[in-house]
Amino acid sequence: MSETRKRKTKNIPNNSISDKDKTKEGETKTVSPKSNIPLRVLSRAVVIFSLLIIVYFTSNDGAFKIFAKQNEVISGKGQIVECSSAYLREIDKFEGCFPKQCKRFVTDKVITDKEVDELLMIAKKGLKYGGSSGGASILDLHSGALSMGQHFINFYKRSEGKNVFTEKDFTTYKVVKNKIKYSIGHYFGVNPEKIYLTHPTFFSEITSKEAVTVHDEYWHPHVDKETYKSFHYTTLLYLTDYNIDFKGGRFVFIDEKYNRTIEPRKGRVSMFTSGKENLHYVEKVTSGTRYAVTISFTCDKQYAIGDPDKRKFNNDL
């Protein structure tokens, strides 16, 4: 085998040298145009092809910007966007809750590693009892809603749901929620006492499983305020790492000129105004498991919900 390979590789240079020699020798007016035309065509084709490749890749880069990379630690990065008119009109009614500017904001510095680990454990130990038949499952600590097959059950009404979460779990959730609430106050220039936790707020677990119901289809572009009327500020806290724990599953803001991606990173918080200015979707997860928490806030006190706690779900039992 190796001998034949050697022979073959030896033969190729030999042939090409003899070809070159031939063309050098045979440089007559009649022969050269014939042999040069395909060469010219070939070199042009190569130039055009490489130009096309360059254009293709630069245009792709141009339309798709990374707003927050997984492997970078971001103290704070914001982008101001123009508030949609519907959002402005509605939020105008709520004093102290009006943002200085509509925007997106990402920070890796608000939630500690320990808090993230504790939240991830809450998510895993709850979701273990459920699981959507498709790729997306949720667990809502407030209502006890848990994906199960093609439906949701109230986990708190099941005997196995009685003692899964501890007092400490609820405290961790509350501490994290408050940190995020005060961050919104700080970064959006609103009074944190005037924004209220609202429904739904939930842990999500996404795998690459094929979707079965519409609840599994998280990848459609949407505006949070259109899906959930009470929302004014949406926040997401990522509990696992993009490209390490899972592939795909980047968060994408859809803008006119570029789409901007947020690559999930453990402990990364992304916050944005919930109106049309922040149209977005999540890419399909292609492998691994993606965990995140959605914590949403409203300016409208009538949609406020309290913190989840053990007492509340004991009353349900």
Ligand X SMILES: *[C@@H]1O[C@H](CO)[C@@H](O)[C@H](O)[C@H]1NC(C)=O
Q: Could you give the residue numbers annotated as active site?
A: 290
**Is 254 near ligand X (CB under 6 A)?**
yes
Structure tokens at 249: 């599953």
Task: Report residue 59 CA to chain centroid gap.
Answer: 22
Q: What minimum distance in Å lies between the beta carbon of 256 and ligand X? A: 7
Q: Give dist(CA 180, CA 112) in Å, integer.
A: 12
Q: 97 or 252: whose CB is closer to ligand X?
A: 252
- Contact, 296 vs 234, CB < 8 A? yes
Interface with ligand X (CB under 6 A), residue total: 6
**Is 63 near ligand X (CB under 6 A)?**
yes
- Contact, 249 vs 287, CB < 8 A? no
Chain residue whose CB lies nearest ligand X: 63
Q: 279 or 304: whose CB is closer to ligand X?
A: 279
Q: 135 or 267: whose CB is closer to ligand X?
A: 135
- Contact, 96 vs 194, CB < 8 A? yes
| Ramachandran quadrant class, 39 (left: phi over 0; alpha: psi -120 to 50; beta: rest) | alpha
Q: What minimum distance in Å lies between the beta carbon of 82 and ligand X? A: 17
Beta strands in 83-159 (DSSP E): 102-107, 131-132, 136-139, 145-149, 151-154
**Is 279 near ligand X (CB under 6 A)?**
no
Q: 108 or 216: whose CB is closer to ligand X?
A: 216
Q: Which helix (H) or strand (E) holds 60?
A: helix 31-63
Q: Which stretch binds ligand X (CB under 6 A): 111-119, 232-240, 252-260, 263-271?
A: 252-260
Q: Give dist(CA 80, CA 100) in Å, integer.
A: 10
Q: Which of residues 256-275 bind ligand X (CB under 6 A)?
A: 258-259
Among 38, 76, 189, 221, binds ligand X (CB under 6 A): 221
Q: Which stretch binds ligand X (CB under 6 A): 30-38, 110-118, 251-259, 266-274?
A: 251-259
Residues in touch with ligand X (CB under 6 A)? 63-64, 221, 254, 258-259
